């Protein structure tokens, strides 16, 4: 008997003849339909093309315009769900801060499907890393947890001295003013390879833009990004 990871309700199995004759493995879902509906999904049509923020129409938001004014090429970030909403906040609280590693299963499927699309086109997947101290206390990397079956490249690592204060404890101004938090440990020349960055939450975008800067310095091609929430 499977239980919903969030509300503990018993999950119903839908065994159908169509599934039986499809000769596929039975796919179990980690949460119930009700809990799934509580998260606010973002449709492509109603989001900012630059950062994926939920809007009423598809045009660049204020933040992305500012990034463009800084002479940066946009990341064209893909986002799945809204972050500033109690259910998603509660999810990240339980997953990252309480450390319930099982909860990675809830969104792993959607993120992996998206990454696979890029892998097929020959892109590399690069994960935004967690600093060592957090990794030691938490016991896992929350982004790596989302992508168990994807070949990930760990080109980036956290420079130690910035590991003290986590991003989530900073204000917006502080975040934007943070110097480069990452070091580079990949091959010296990326040979114009295209790269998809993966992170859990997009807040100001500064983390992802810092990572992109570093990758561009090592001669990569196009850089795009995907985050679970915005």
3 binding another protein? (CB under 8 A): no
141 binding another protein? (CB under 8 A): yes
Q: Within 10 A of 31 (CB to CB), how many other CB atoms are there? A: 22
DSSP 35: H
- Among candidates 211, 1, 224, 229, which has minimal Cα distance to 95? 229
Q: Judged by CB, which is closer to another protein: 98, or 180?
A: 98
Identified binder of another protein from the candidate list 40, 61, 94, 222, rule CB under 8 A:
94
Euclidean distance between CA atoms 30 and 50, whole angstroms: 31
Q: Judged by CB, which is closer to another protein: 102, or 116?
A: 102
- Piece of 47-55, 78-86, 139-147, 222-230 that binds another protein (CB under 8 A): 139-147
101 binding another protein? (CB under 8 A): yes
Q: Judged by CB, which is closer to another protein: 107, or 123?
A: 107
User: Which own/partner pairs from 112-118 qualify as long-range (CB within 8 Å, at least 24 positions apart)?
Assistant: 112/146, 112/147, 112/148, 112/149, 112/150, 114/78, 114/226, 115/147, 115/150, 115/196, 115/198, 115/226, 116/150, 118/194, 118/196, 118/224
Q: Which two tokens stand for residue 3?
A: 């239980």
29 binding another protein? (CB under 8 A): no
99 binding another protein? (CB under 8 A): yes
Three-state SS for 160? Answer: helix
Identified binder of another protein from the candidate list 50, 145, 181, 205, rule CB under 8 A:
145
Euclidean distance between CA atoms 228 and 113, whole angstroms: 13
Identified binder of another protein from the candidate list 46, 98, 133, 219, rule CB under 8 A:
98
102 binding another protein? (CB under 8 A): yes
Identified binder of another protein from the candidate list 33, 73, 100, 213, rule CB under 8 A:
100
Residues in contact with another protein by CB under 8 A are 94, 98-102, 137, 139-141, 144-145
């Amino acid at each position: 008997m499977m239980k919903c990871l969030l509300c503990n309700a018993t999950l119903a199995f839908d065994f159908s003849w169509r599934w039986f004759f499809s000769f596929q493995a039975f796919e179990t879902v980690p949460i119930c339909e009700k809990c799934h509906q509580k998260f606010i999904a973002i449709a492509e049509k109603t989001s900012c093309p630059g950062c994926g923020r939920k809007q009423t129409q598809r045009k660049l938001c204020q933040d992305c315009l500012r990034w463009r004014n800084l002479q940066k090429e946009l990341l064209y970030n893909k986002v799945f769900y809204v972050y500033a909403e109690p259910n998603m906040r509660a999810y990240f609280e339980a997953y990252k801060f309480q450390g319930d590693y099982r909860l990675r299963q809830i969104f792993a499927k959607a993120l992996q499907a998206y990454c696979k699309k890029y892998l097929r086109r020959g892109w590399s997947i690069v994960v935004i890393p967690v600093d060592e101290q957090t990794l030691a206390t938490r016991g896992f990397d929350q982004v790596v947890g989302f992508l168990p079956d994807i070949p990930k490249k760990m080109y980036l690592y956290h420079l130690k001295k910035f590991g003290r204060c986590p991003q989530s404890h900073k204000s917006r101004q502080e975040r934007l003013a943070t110097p480069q938090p990452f070091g580079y440990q990949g091959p010296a020349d990326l040979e114009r390879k295209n790269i998809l960055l993966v992170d859990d939450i997009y807040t100001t975008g500064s983390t992802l833009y810092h990572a992109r800067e570093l990758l561009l310095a090592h001669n990569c091609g196009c850089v795009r990004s995907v985050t679970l929430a915005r």
